[in-house]
């Protein structure tokens, strides 16, 4: 595996990378996936997914295992390592891993996703995916008439709060500053809504639950230190995303936030290197859109490879 030149290396095994692999494997490209430290991607950390076509309700890890099996079935190889460095200045491209493997490939799909920022406070990792989530579009419907908290004061937090209104009137926004940072229009939609309560200058400092699901939080005022305990059913954390582009960002064009810039759907600034999923798409951030992107990236890579060979 190490000495040969691969047709296609796919970096990342979330919905984008695995779907790219299914398409590439079925085109006989014998793709290699480098898994990274979260094989299966973000859905491995959630419970039920109800917006994947063809599955009314499926556990996130089960869905990802099914897609992985399908990719493997058609001949995808997997390497349980992480890409730490690349050289895209010469062809074939070179990628190095955390175990010092040097791999060469004629084409690369980057599908390394983005990591939602966490508060990093006690209880958060215990209840991540068990009532703590980052995706209102995905999970709002699980909270009809329930008490929910939205953490953040930017556009995403405001959008999440507005979206939650379709399901519940018991919404509290907790924001660390004394003013919201969202655009004026988005702020107004929330501040003018009598059902949305906003707690300023505050953040969650502890999550508690019953082992299965988060049930209450401690909210601490950053100025006074005052703590309040609040019973809740769900928490939506909307404090930003970090695209996983550290090994690549010196070699391909990225925007100011580190997301990969693309043209023509999947093409990066380096010919032969393609991007798919949350690593470039901060707008939709869905499993299905990432999978669709993975499909497009594989088809584009296949076309690129057939032109250079």
Ligand X SMILES: Cc1cc2nc3c(=O)[nH]c(=O)nc-3n(C[C@H](O)[C@H](O)[C@H](O)COP(=O)(O)OP(=O)(O)OC[C@H]3O[C@@H](n4cnc5c(N)ncnc54)[C@H](O)[C@@H]3O)c2cc1C
Nearer to ligand X, 153 or 277 (CB): 277
DSSP β-bridge partners for residue 109: 10, 274
Q: What gap in Å lies between CA 88 and CA 84, rounded to an integer?
A: 13
Element of type H or E holding 307 = helix 287-308
Question: Does 17 interact with ligand X (rule: CB under 6 A)?
Answer: yes
Q: What gap in Å lies between CA 190 and CA 160, rounded to an integer?
A: 10
Count the neighbouring beta carbons within 10 Å of the beta carbon of residue 96.
Answer: 16
Task: Give CA separation, 22 vs 3, 29, 178, in Å.
Answer: 24, 10, 48
Contact 144, 230 (CB under 8 A): no
Q: What gap in Å lies between CA 203 and CA 205, rounded to an integer?
A: 6
Nearer to ligand X, 70 or 201 (CB): 70
Helix or strand or coil: residue 81?
Answer: coil
The CB-of-146 to ligand X minimum distance in angstroms stands at: 17
The CB-of-233 to ligand X minimum distance in angstroms stands at: 15
Catalytic residues: 135, 138-139
Q: What gap in Å lies between CA 128 and CA 104, rounded to an integer?
A: 37
Tell me the two tokens of residue 207. 């999550």
Q: What gap in Å lies between CA 286 and CA 42, rounded to an integer?
A: 10
Question: Does 131 interact with ligand X (rule: CB under 6 A)?
Answer: no
Which member of 16, 32, 198, 214 binds ligand X (CB under 6 A)?
A: 16
Task: Annotate each residue in 143-172 with x if it binds ligand X (CB under 6 A) or - if it does not, as one string.
Answer: ------------------------------
Which residues, 238 to 297, sit near ligand X by CB under 6 A? 244, 247, 277-279, 285-288, 290
Nearer to ligand X, 153 or 294 (CB): 294
Nearer to ligand X, 12 or 92 (CB): 12
Task: Annotate each residue in 45-84 with x if it binds ligand X (CB under 6 A) or - if it does not, as one string.
Answer: xx--x-x------------------------------xx-
Count the neighbouring beta carbons within 10 Å of the beta carbon of residue 70.
Answer: 16
Helix or strand or coil: residue 97?
Answer: strand
Which member of 9, 22, 29, 43 binds ligand X (CB under 6 A)?
A: 43
Using CB under 6 A, which of the segments 38-46, 165-173, 186-194, 261-269 binds ligand X?
A: 38-46
Question: Does 187 interact with ligand X (rule: CB under 6 A)?
Answer: no
Nearer to ligand X, 278 or 302 (CB): 278
Query: Do the bridges between strand 171-174 and strand 196-199 make them parallel or antiparallel, or are there none, so unpaired?
Result: parallel
Using CB under 6 A, which of the segments 108-116, 210-218, 224-232, 263-271 binds ligand X?
A: 108-116
Measured in degrees and rounded to the nearest 5, phi and psi for residue 172 equal -125, 130
Residues sharing a CB contact under 8 Å with residue 263, sequence separation 6 or more, in sequence order: none
Which member of 13, 76, 105, 203 binds ligand X (CB under 6 A)?
A: 13
Which member of 12, 92, 153, 272 binds ligand X (CB under 6 A)?
A: 12
Contact 95, 108 (CB under 8 A): yes
Give the total of residues touching ligand X (CB under 6 A).
Answer: 41
The CB-of-222 to ligand X minimum distance in angstroms stands at: 25
> Can you give the binding site for ligand X, defined by CB under 6 A?
11-17, 34-39, 41-43, 45-46, 49, 51, 82-83, 111-113, 116, 129, 133-135, 138, 244, 247, 277-279, 285-288, 290
């Amino acid at each position: 595996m190490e000495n040969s030149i691969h047709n296609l290396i796919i970096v990342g095994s979330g919905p984008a990378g695995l779907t790219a692999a299914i398409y590439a494997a079925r085109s006989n490209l014998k793709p290699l996936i480098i898994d990274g430290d979260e094989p299966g991607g973000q859905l491995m950390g959630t419970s039920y997914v109800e917006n994947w076509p063809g599955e009314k309700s499926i556990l996130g890890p089960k869905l990802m295992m099914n897609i992985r099996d399908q990719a493997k079935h058609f001949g995808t190889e997997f390497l349980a390592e992480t890409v730490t460095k690349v050289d895209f200045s010469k062809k074939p491209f070179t990628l190095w891993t955390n175990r010092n493997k040097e791999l060469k490939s004629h084409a690369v799909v980057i599908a390394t996703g983005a990591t939602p920022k966490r508060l990093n406070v006690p209880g958060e990792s215990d209840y991540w995916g068990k009532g703590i989530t980052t995706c209102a579009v995905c999970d709002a419907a699980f909270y009809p008439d329930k008490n929910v908290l939205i953490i953040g004061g930017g556009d995403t937090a405001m959008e999440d709060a507005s979206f939650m209104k379709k399901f519940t009137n018991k919404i509290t926004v907790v924001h660390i500053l004394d003013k919201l940072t969202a655009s004026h229009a988005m702020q107004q939609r929330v501040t003018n809504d009598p059902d949305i309560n906003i707690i300023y200058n505050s953040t969650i400092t502890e999550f508690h639950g019953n082992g299965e699901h988060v049930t209450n939080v401690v909210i601490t005022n950053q100025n006074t230190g005052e703590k309040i305990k609040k019973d809740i059913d769900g928490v939506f954390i909307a404090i930003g995303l970090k695209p996983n582009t550290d090994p690549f960002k010196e070699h391909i064009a990225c925007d100011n936030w580190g997301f990969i810039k693309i043209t023509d759907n999947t093409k990066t600034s380096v010919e032969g290197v393609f991007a798919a999923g949350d690593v470039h798409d901060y707008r939709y951030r869905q499993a299905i859109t990432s999978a669709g992107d993975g499909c497009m990236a594989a088809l584009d890579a296949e076309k690129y490879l057939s032109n250079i060979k």
